[in-house]
Amino acid sequence: MNRTIAVSTSEFLISARNRWVTISIVMMALFALVLSAAGSAPTGDLGADKLSITVASLTSLAVYLVPLVALLMSFDAVAGEIERGTLALALAYPVSRSEILAGKLLAHLGILGLAIFVGYSIAAFAAFALDDEAATGLPALVRLFWTSLLLGAVFLGIGYAVSAITRRPGSAAGVAIALWLVLIVLYDIGLLAAVVADSGGTFTQSVFPWLLVANPADAFRLYNLSASEATAAAGGIAGAANAIPPYLALASLVIWPVAAFTLAAAAFRRVTL
Amino acid sequence: MSLLTLSQVTKRYDATVALSDVSLNVTEGERVALLGHNGAGKSTLIKIVLGLVAHDSGDVSVVHAPPGSLAAREATSYLPENVAFHPSLTGLEQIRYYLRLRKQNPSGANALLERVGLQDAATRRIGTYSKGMRQRVGLAQALIGHPQLMVLDEPTSGLDPVSRREFYAILDELAGRGTAVLLSSHALTEVEARTDRIAILSRGELVANDTLAGLRRRAALPIQLQIAARPDTADKVAHRLSGRRLNGTRVDVTCQHADKLERLSEIAQLGDLIDDLEIVPPSLEDLYAHFSRGGASP
Ligand SMILES: Nc1ncnc2c1ncn2[C@@H]1O[C@H](COP(=O)(O)OP(=O)(O)OP(=O)(O)O)[C@@H](O)[C@H]1O
Ligand SMILES: [Mg+2]
């Protein structure tokens, strides 16, 4: 444990020096500000408080942004150390590879958490300024925060696995971006196309919900929207997903980070110099 | 007590045989130098000892544990060749980090950096360090926690002559306290004076493994007697000793170790014809070339 903390302290320092802390905080803050400005128009007809509506739009934002930032922070973790030549020495120390990876995860998750916290807080302040009832939406915001961390952990783990498997920063970056595109963008488009073609058949009834839960980003969206008052504000896929109990989506969000980290640790163990 | 034992270790990289049937051991307080041409297999041997590379056959025991095991890594310190650190950390932060990994108090970092002469640069980023300064950070981390075994891959590369001397002084001190040291090097002259035993690898084979005196005896390379004759006597001296005249006064005679005293007395009998005499034993370069060549022949 001490060694994991030593690794994470050092990783945090490196990320701070590389401006990763600043970049991710500024990015999240900027998007939250834009969202709040866009959502400041009166929306009384939805019947939800301002904060709940903000949470709904933050959810659809976080689904893209959190995985992206997580992949950008993690793709270099192993490949970068191989390229710089710093890995051999680290591996000669009495620290296990899982401890090294866990230390990196702790640091990166901390930075991601900081950025998300700043971004969401800005959005929450804006909502409170516009609506006295905004406190009703607080539980949804808190839920959004910790599920965002879970989503971040999934993609950090995936990033480490990619980094350890490719062993080259260039290839790792390429594969990471491709994965982001497939898992976050194309997956949903594909499902949507299938649902449209199926027009309410067995696929839509029995296969589609499972495919949705199986994707961590969709599970994240489902869990937050199904538990939220403002489902109507988000629309889209959410309507079709009402059939899925929220606990399944949550289970997916908990299993994914563990699976991704296990995969990354296994890939890292295979790395020889 | 042997702290590092390799027996009949073989390692192949596809077609290349990096190590072939190598047996070597290093005991407590002993400093062993590993020599060999580029690509001889020195770094490969060192990485096998650290468990960074797996060997194909043979046995390796590192402080009585398998290489790469937690026990072995706890007892061993390592300086890789071309050591690298993250450029955005300062020397102090980097050493503190390594201290924590060895469960030592991070406040010892300043003392370690001072020991390698980096106290003034301690709070500067390693990205701004010169090559030799980075090498010293590498040395500082290798000194953490009185290791039982130190494995150093070209530790003096990039160091200036004064730093090299300081480095060997630190090594002497550690060896005095019982640390076993295995270091690879291309700097023959420093190794000659500062280590207890010399192991020479050639194309993956261990072609020599002995003290310097032992190597000299085994190689039986000729000793050179450089004679300075008096003016106009050089020809005569060269003739009487059947030596080789180099210039107006200098005559060279070579002989084997066993014949040395006999030859010297012959020279002494020439009395007034001789101005001066110098005895030049085979240099480590000669020895190295002798053994390296022996191993390289197929
Ligand atoms: N990862 C690798 N893959 C393939 N071949 C390798 C690998 N590492 C080393 N070799 C080969 O093994 C042989 C021994 O290399 P090694 O690095 O041990 O040499 P060395 O004695 O340390 O040389 P130098 O003095 O240049 O540092 C070389 O022929 C090298 O090309
Ligand atoms: Mg080498």
Which residues touch B209 (CB under 8 Å, ≥6 apart)?
A: B24, B197, B198, B199, B200
Q: Is A86 on the interface with B (CB under 8 A)?
A: yes
Q: Give the whole-angstrom CA distance, residue B163 versus residue A138.
A: 63
Specify the range with the lowest mean pLDDT, choosing from A40-49, A163-172, B108-117, B168-177.
A40-49
Q: Does B141 touch chain A (CB under 8 A)?
A: yes
* A184-191 own/partner pairs: CB under 8 Å, 24+ apart: A184/A63, A184/A64, A184/A67, A184/A68, A184/A217, A187/A215, A187/A217, A187/A218, A188/A218, A188/A237, A191/A237
Residue B93: partners with Cβ closer than 8 Å, 6 or more residues away: A10, A13
DSSP letter assigned to residue B66: -
* Domain CATH for B171: 3.40.50.300
Residue at which a domain ends, from B194, B217, B240: B217
- Answer yes or no: is pLDDT of A232 > 50: no
Closest ligand 1 atom, residue B46 Cα: 18
Which residue among B47, B84, B125 places its CB closest to the CB of A273? B47
Residue pair B181/B175 in contact by the 8 Å Cβ criterion: yes
Given the CA of residue B204, which atom of ligand 1 is nearest to it?
Answer: 14
Measure the CA–CA gap between B140 and A17, rounded to whole angstroms: 23
Considering the domain architecture, whether residues B165 and B238 belong to the same structural domain is answered as no
A84 touches chain B (CB under 8 A): yes
B174 and B152 Cβ atoms separated by less than 8 Å: no
Max mean pLDDT range (A26-35, A95-104, A216-225, B203-212): A95-104
Q: Do B179 and B45 reside in the same domain of the chain?
A: yes
What average pLDDT does this structure show over A59-86? 94
pLDDT at A233 over 50: no
- Report whether pLDDT(A132) > 80: no
pLDDT of amino acid A21: 86
Mutate to test the interface with B, among A1, A4, A10, A83 (most CBs of B within 10 A): A10
Average pLDDT over residues A196-214: 84
Residue B249 domain boundaries: 222-281
Cα separation, A148 vs A220, in Å, equals 8
**B287 inside domain:** no
**Cβ burial, residue B260 (10 Å; 0-12/13-18/19+):** middle
Q: Is residue B291 in a domain?
A: no
Nearest CA to ligand 1 atom 2: B13
**Chain length of chain B:** 298
| Atom 3 of ligand 1, nearest CA residue | B13
Higher pLDDT pick, A54 / A230: A54
Q: Which B residues, 71 through 100, put their C-beta within 8 Å of a C-beta on chain A? A: 73-74, 76, 78, 80, 82-86, 88-89, 93, 97-98, 100
CATH of the domain at B251: 3.30.70.1650
Q: Give the pairing type, strands B31-36 and B149-153.
A: unpaired
User: How far does the centroid of ligand 2 lie from the alpha carbon of residue B183, in Å?
Assistant: 11
Mind listing the pLDDT tens digit of every residue in chain B (298 residues)?
899 999 999 999 998 999 999 999 999 999 999 999 999 999 999 999 999 999 999 999 999 999 999 999 999 999 999 999 999 999 999 999 999 999 999 999 999 999 999 999 999 999 999 999 999 999 999 999 989 999 999 999 999 999 999 999 999 999 999 999 999 999 888 888 889 999 999 999 999 999 988 888 888 888 888 888 887 888 888 888 888 888 888 888 888 888 888 888 888 888 888 888 898 888 888 888 888 875 444 3
As given in the structure block, the two tokens for residue A167 are 């062993």
Q: B36 C-alpha to center of ligand 1: Å?
A: 11
Q: Do B98 and A94 touch (CB under 8 A)?
A: no
For the residues A252-261, what does the mean pLDDT come to? 97
A206: pLDDT strictly greater than 70: yes
8 Å CB contact between B252 and B277? no
Does residue B83 sit within a domain? yes
Kindly state whether residues B165 and B209 are assigned to the same domain.
Answer: yes
Q: What is the ipTM of this complex?
A: 0.87
- Same domain as B169, residue B156: yes
CA B169 – CA B165 distance, rounded (Å) = 6
- Check whether residue B161 and residue B248 sit in a common domain: no
Whole domain around residue A191: which residue ranges?
2-269
Q: What is d(CA A250, CA A146) in angstroms, rounded to the nearest whole number?
A: 11
Contact A88/B100, CB-based, under 8 Å?
A: no
B54 and B71 in a single domain? The answer is: yes
Q: Does B298 fall in a domain?
A: no
A269 touches chain B (CB under 8 A): no
Please indicate whether residue B54, judged by its CB atom, sits closer than 6 Å to ligand 1: no
Q: Is B261 in the pocket of ligand 1 (CB under 6 A)?
A: no
Pairing of strands B31-36, B197-202: parallel
Structurally, chain B folds into a number of domains equal to 2
| C-beta of residue A83 within 8 angstroms of C-beta of residue A169 | yes
Domain count, chain A: 1
Q: Do B187 and B137 lie in a common domain?
A: yes
Verify that B85 and B139 share a domain, yes or no: yes
Best to test chain B binding among A5, A89, A100 (most B CBs inside 10 Å): A89
Q: Based on the fold, state whether residues B122 and B246 are members of the same structural domain.
A: no
One domain for residues B62 and B149:
yes
B272 lies in the same domain as B208: no
The pLDDT of residue B141 = 97
Q: Whose CA is nearest to atom 29 of ligand 1?
A: B39
Domain shared by B148 and B209, yes or no = yes
Higher-pLDDT residue of A64, B236: A64
Name the strand (E) or helix (H) holding B184. strand B180-184
Does B239 fall in a domain?
Answer: yes
Judged by a CB distance cut-off of 8 A, whether residue A199 touches chain B is no
- B68-to-A97, A167, B48, B276 alpha-carbon distances in Å: 12, 21, 8, 57
pTM: 0.88
